[in-house]
C-alpha cells in the first residue's frame, strides 16, 4: 500500500544486487541517499560499513534499481475519473515500481493548452506518488487539422507531442508538425494506424478473426503508416517516434530507417511481445487492444526488435476502462488494457525466457525511456533524484483483480502467472510503497 514517509536525512540501502543499466552495473552494492537525492551508488559501496549516522535499509539480497520510467500511459483525470484518477493511477504506478510516468494528452479537455497541463501537474504533486509528466497534442482538439502551440506547451512542461490513440492521418499536417518541431528538437509520437484500412476492425485480420466472425484490422494498416511517416521524417529531418509497434514489417521498416541515419525511434508494449491474437479466445474483451494483438510471427519479430535494439523502449500502454465499457459484445467493447502493475514482471519475461540479460530488460523500462523523453531519471548516480525500486526478479504471483491497485481492472494478463515482484518503491527519498503494508 502507498505511504508518505518523511524524507530521512541520510539513508543507506545495503545488501542489494545493484542493477543500473546506465552504468552497466549488475553486482552486489548499495545506494546512499540524503533527503531527495542520491549521494553515492555503486558496487561494494558499503563494504566497510554505512556509518553510524545513516538509516539502514537492508534489501536482503533483492535487486535495487532506478525506479521505472513509463513513457506512455493514460489517466482518466480530467474528464473520465470513473476509469482512473491521478490518485489511483499513482497508487498503481508505485505498486508496479513506476516512479515517473508520461500521460497521453487525450484527456477531457485534451492537453492542447497550458492550463490543462498545469492542472495535471498540480494534482499529481498533491498526491505525492509517482512523478507525472505530460505529452502535448500535435493538433488542437485532436482534430488532425490545426497544429497546437508546441513551443508554448514545451515551455509549460510538455515532453513530446502526440495525438495519443489517434493517428495524425493527414500527411500534410504531419509534415508541417515535423517541420515545425525540427529546429526545437521536439519529438513527434505517432500512433501508426492507417484509419481507412483499420476502420471497423476489432482484432487482427486473419484466420482467428474469420473463425470468430469478427472484422479484422490488417497488419498493412500499421505498415503503410510507418512507411509513409518515415518518408515524411526524411523530408523534414524531424524526430519521429512510433508508439506500440506490433508488426514484423513495421519493425523492419524502422530498422532500415535507423540504418539510413534517420531520427526514428519506436517502442512497444508488453502485450505485443507476450501475447498473440489467440489471447482473444472466445471473445475475451480484456484482450481487445489498439493496435490489436497480432499473429505469432509478429510477436516473435517484436522480441527480435527488442533484442537487436531496433525497438528502443517498452511502455505500459496503460489504458484503464470501466467494467461497463468492457463487459459488452466484443465488437462493441472499448479498446485498451491496464499495464502499470504488469510492466515489470511481463518485461522480465524477456529475461526469464532467455532473450536478454536482466540488466538489458531493466534498461528498456528505466534509462532508455528517460533518455528518449529527456528526463533526468532512470539512473543511479550522485546528484540524481532518489527514485528507487527494490524488487525480486524471481518471485512469482498471479495477475488477478484483487491484486491490482488501478481503479479499472481490465488487464490483458488477467489470470496469468508472472515472475517479478515489487518489494518497495521510493520517490524523492520517500518510501511510497512497501509490499505487505
Active centre residues (catalytic): 317
Alpha-carbon gap, residue 321 to 304, rounded angstroms: 31
- Residue 292 burial (C-beta neighbours within 10 Å; 0-12, 13-18, 19+): buried
Taken as a whole, the chain contains a residue count of: 437
- Under DSSP, the state recorded for 330 is T
Task: Give the cell for residue 112.
Answer: 492542447
Which residue's entry shows cell 533483492? 62
Of the candidates 83, 194, 82, 181, the residue with the CA atom closest to the CA atom of residue 135: 181
Nearest alpha carbon to residue 37 among 435, 424, 434, 379: 379
Q: Which three cell numbers stand for residue 94?
A: 508505485
Candidates 336, 406, 337; CA nearest to 81 is 406
Tell me how far apart the alpha carbons of residues 151 and 349 are, in angstroms, rounded to a whole number.
39
Dist CA 19 CA 27 (whole Å): 7
User: Distance between terminal CA atoms of the chain?
Assistant: 5
Amino acid at each position: 500500500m502507498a505511504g508518505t514517509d518523511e524524507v530521512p536525512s541520510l539513508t543507506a540501502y545495503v545488501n542489494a544486487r545493484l542493477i543500473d543499466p546506465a552504468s552497466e552495473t549488475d553486482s552486489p552494492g548499495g545506494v546512499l541517499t540524503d533527503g531527495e537525492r542520491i549521494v553515492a551508488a555503486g558496487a561494494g559501496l558499503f563494504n566497510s560499513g554505512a556509518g553510524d549516522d545513516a538509516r539502514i535499509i537492508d534489501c536482503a539480497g533483492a535487486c535495487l534499481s532506478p525506479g521505472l520510467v513509463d513513457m506512455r500511459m493514460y489517466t482518466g483525470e480530467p474528464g473520465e475519473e470513473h476509469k482512473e484518477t491521478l490518485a489511483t493511477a499513482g497508487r498503481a504506478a508505485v505498486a508496479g515500481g513506476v516512479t515517473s510516468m508520461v500521460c497521453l494528452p487525450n484527456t477531457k479537455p485534451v492537453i492542447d493548452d497550458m492550463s490543462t497541463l498545469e492542472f495535471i501537474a498540480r494534482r499529481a504533486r498533491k498526491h505525492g506518488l509517482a512523478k507525472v509528466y505530460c505529452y502535448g497534442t500535435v493538433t488542437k482538439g485532436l482534430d488532425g487539422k490545426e497544429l497546437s502551440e508546441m513551443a508554448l506547451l514545451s515551455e509549460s512542461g510538455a515532453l513530446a507531442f502526440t495525438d495519443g490513440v489517434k493517428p495524425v492521418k493527414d500527411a500534410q499536417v504531419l509534415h508541417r508538425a515535423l517541420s515545425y518541431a525540427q529546429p526545437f528538437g521536439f519529438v513527434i509520437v505517432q500512433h501508426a494506424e492507417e484509419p481507412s484500412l483499420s476502420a471497423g476492425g476489432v482484432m487482427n485480420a486473419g484466420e482467428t478473426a474469420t473463425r470468430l466472425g469478427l472484422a479484422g484490422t490488417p497488419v498493412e494498416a500499421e505498415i503503410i503508416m510507418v512507411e509513409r511517416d518515415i518518408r515524411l521524417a526524411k523530408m523534414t529531418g524531424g524526430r519521429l517516434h512510433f508508439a506500440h509497434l506490433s508488426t514484423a514489417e513495421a519493425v523492419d521498416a524502422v530498422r532500415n530507417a535507423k540504418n539510413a541515419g534517420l531520427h526514428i525511434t519506436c517502442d512497444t508494449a508488453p502485450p505485443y511481445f507476450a501475447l498473440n491474437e489467440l489471447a482473444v479466445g472466445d471473445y475475451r474483451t480484456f484482450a481487445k487492444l489498439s493496435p490489436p494483438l497480432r499473429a505469432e510471427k509478429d510477436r516473435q519479430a517484436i522480441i527480435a526488435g527488442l533484442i537487436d535494439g531496433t525497438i528502443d523502449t517498452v511502455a505500459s500502454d496503460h489504458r484503464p476502462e470501466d467494467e461497463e465499457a468492457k463487459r459488452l459484445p466484443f465488437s462493441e467493447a472499448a479498446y485498451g488494457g491496464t499495464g502499470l502493475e504488469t510492466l515489470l514482471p511481463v518485461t522480465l519475461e524477456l529475461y526469464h525466457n532467455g532473450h536478454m540479460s536482466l540488466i538489458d530488460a531493466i534498461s528498456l523500462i528505466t534509462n532508455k525511456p528517460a533518455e528518449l523523453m529527456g528526463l533526468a531519471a532512470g539512473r543511479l548516480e550522485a546528484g540524481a533524484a532518489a527514485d528507487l525500486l527494490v524488487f525480486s526478479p524471481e518471485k512469482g504471483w498471479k495477475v488477478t483483480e484483487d491484486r491490482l491497485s488501478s481503479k479499472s481492472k481490465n488487464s490483458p494478463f488477467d489470470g496469468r502467472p508472472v515472475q517479478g515482484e515489487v518489494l518497495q518503491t521510493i520517490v524523492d527519498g520517500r518510501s511510497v510503497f512497501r509490499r505487505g503494508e
